[in-house]
Amino acid sequence: MYTPSSTLVVAFSLFAFPLSGTALAQNHAFTPAGTRYWGGNYNNTWPFSGASARYQQIHDAVDVAATNGRRPLVIRGISFRPGGISPIVARQWDVQLTLGHTSVSSATITNSFTANFTTTPTLVLPYKSVSVPAAPAGSTTAANPIAWTIPFAAVFPYVPALGNLCWEWQSKNATSTTTFMDASKLPTAEAPQIAPAYGTGCTASGRSQPAAATLAPVASNFEASLTNGPANAGAILWVGLRRDETTVPGWCAPFYLLPSIAVSGSTDSTGTWKAGSVPVVSLHVTPYAEVYLQFGFADSTLPGGVGLSNLGIITTRPNQASYVTRMASSITSGQGYENATTGTVYANSGLVTIFEIL
% helix, strand, coil for the chain, step of 5: 10, 45, 45
How far apart CA 86 and CA 79 sit, in angstroms, is 18
Pair 248, 21: CB distance under 8 Å: yes
pLDDT, tens digit, 9 for 90 and up, residues 131-177: 999 999 999 889 999 999 999 999 999 999 999 999 999 999 998 88
How far apart CA 277 and CA 325 sit, in angstroms, is 36
Q: Where residue 330 falls among pLDDT bands split at 50, 70, 90?
A: low
The C-alpha torsion from 125 through 127 and 128 to 131, rounded to 10°, is 90
Which of 76, 57, 106, 93 shows the shortest CA–CA distance to 338? Answer: 93
Query: Quick check: 19 pLDDT over 90?
Result: no
b/e for 63-98, b at 16 or more Cβ within 10 A?
bbbbbbbbbebebbbbbbbbbbbeebeebebebbbb
DSSP 8-state secondary structure symbol assigned to residue 196: E
How far apart CA 299 and CA 230 sit, in angstroms, is 7
Residues 6+ apart with CB under 8 A from 108: none
Query: Quick check: 213 pLDDT over 80?
Result: yes
> What pLDDT is stored for residue 187 in this prediction?
77
pLDDT, tens digit, 9 for 90 and up, residues 168-195: 999 999 988 889 999 999 877 788 999 9
Other CB atoms within 10 Å distance of the CB of residue 278 = 17
β partners of residue 30: 354
Q: Rounded to two decimals, what is the model's pTM?
A: 0.86
